[in-house]
Structure 1
């Protein structure tokens, strides 16, 4: 199964969008139409890369837009670039989401005591390859971190691309601790501090910041898939979320290829990228 992307608008502007197509050239939603499993028997999942490693433009699946293209988050009327808190420059993994998952804001998690953040579940790919924006990769789940973001559960699933030359050596969270020493500590540090330069307090974590193991993580991902199933079948109120899709045939939100094409055709024409503001490169120093 292969996927491709089509860019619309000018990169580094508020009109920029990244739309997705399947192997048949049909426009799809990366939120709803890409299968969660690449190999269900082996617990291999698909993941959509929103932010390639070392970059800091806060790209994300636009959950409220038709077909859910990637778009850059906007804060106070300006494009959002995540602050660089020394020694980290940009995101320290390929960052993205697992399709066909949803952290239900109406469900209070028994383990964390907090409700979901209304988004697909996030992933941090620790593989060696720096992926491209919109790339769909197949990943093994290794563990999970429970970030509590403004009172909401915001799971961060630690994964590795199955095509990574070292992937066979990684099967659980302890393998990351053993083979990539310092990476988990840096991950915790990154999520704790990345909003501090914006004047916000350090982020908090469930389980005292402990990374839970593979089995816990896989169960959590599958639970969010169950919440998504309720969402896409209209058994749960979608609220402002856009559930338009082209491949979930039994969904009341499924639309025609022509309707999907009309959405993309109406988007801004592609153009040359605008320059990234110099402020996006600023490094912040934090005395913990």
Structure 2
């Protein structure tokens, strides 16, 4: 699988970001040790918060350890192994693509409710909280689930093209990066980047749009070595996959929306199928940043994609962040967020 890779991190892997804690204004760097068998190299990234948490102006921007502001959508490599630059072919044969680890940008921690997401239509694509009809969005607690039941996020350098119709479901993409559910045991934080092993995929249809949901596990998780397929998940974690389908089916119902539908009769597809979907959405992303397809309002500013007309300078990317409101105190959260819904 080819990729336009981040030049300043050639041969390295994104491993972590600043944590959301009492000292929110500080930039914290995390470098997590990877299993030796993966032969992965490390890279260090940071997050920088702007605006007021729990408010519409809150943003989480990304930058490298060298201080270069980047887009998590376009500048973080898709694959966790980056043995070649965007202009240089690999010097050795690639291993089986079903065994490749992918970088996942965590948007929402498990058990939390705020619908955080990569802002695809803003320069540098920071993480922000989604807003609907002027109000911040929170997912409802649909009994027995509390908030999101996995760490939820996206694969960088992927795009579900709204102009592309899936052959089997006959639905077009939802104009976002492909979504990931990390079923590992660690509770992550917004802006963290982890390496995941893909296990399978669910074809969710959200208001007529194709919205793939990858099932994956953090490569550092103690169970990662033992989970290699969607069937492994079914056998070792009874009820988890069924709960995942139930969650996606009902999570919008408390907001007055109909239940979501699914392709393939709600059955999960295997990891080989999932990898093919990843490859397809990566190629759609490549066309997007090279201005070979209609961007549908997507902001493509980046600092690393060599063939992209949207590539910008470090000064331009710094100006984007500096124009955002300064970091401030968190706003209160409505107690309605903790309400239970019984459907």
User: Residue 175 of structure 2 contacts residue 296 of structure 2 at CA under 8 Å; is this kept in 1?
Assistant: no
Correspondence for 1:5 among 27, 30, 47: 47
The corresponding residue for 2:278 is 221
- Tell me what 1:45 maps to: 102
Q: Please report how far the alpha carbon of residue 253 of structure 1 lies from its aligned counterpart in structure 2 after TM superposition.
A: 0.2
The correspondence for 2:63, drawn from 2, 21, 24, is 21
Select the residue among 62, 71, 77 that pairs with 2:119. 62
> Please, which of 250, 267, 277 is the counterpart of residue 307 of structure 2?
250
**Structure 1 residue 23, shift from structure 2 partner:** 3.0
Single out whichever of 260-269 and 2-11 deviates more from structure 2. Answer: 2-11
What is aligned with 1:188?
Answer: 245
Partner of 2:288 in structure 1? 231
Query: Structure 1: where are the runs of 5+ without partners?
Result: none
| 1:39 alignment partner, SS class | coil
Which of 86, 89, 109 aligns to 2:146? It is 89
Q: Which residue of the partner structure matches residue 182 of structure 2?
A: 125
Structure 1, residues 111-150: CA drift from partner, whole Å, max 9, x if none?
Answer: 2110000000000000000001110000000000000001
Matches within 5 A, 1:132-281: 132-281=189-338
Per-residue deviation at 1:50? 0.3
In structure 2, the residue corresponding to 1:20 is in which secondary structure?
Answer: strand
Question: Is 1:78 paired with 2:135?
Answer: yes
CA–CA separation in structure 2 for the residues paired with 1:190 and 1:2: 34
18, 28, 34: which one pairs with 2:76?
34
Is the alpha carbon distance of 1:22 and 1:111 closer, same or farther for their aligned partners in structure 2, counting shifts above 3 Å?
A: farther
Moved over 6 A (4+): none
CA distance in 1, matches of 2:244, 2:57: 31
1:285 aligned residue:
342
SS at the partner of 2:269?
coil
Give the Cα–Cα distance (whole angstroms) in 2 for the partners of residues 165 and 22 of structure 1: 28
Q: Distance in 2 between matches of 1:74 and 1:167?
A: 35
Instruction: Give the C-alpha shift of residue 81 in structure 1.
Output: 0.4
RMSD: 0.9
Gaps of 5+ in 2: 1-42, 83-94
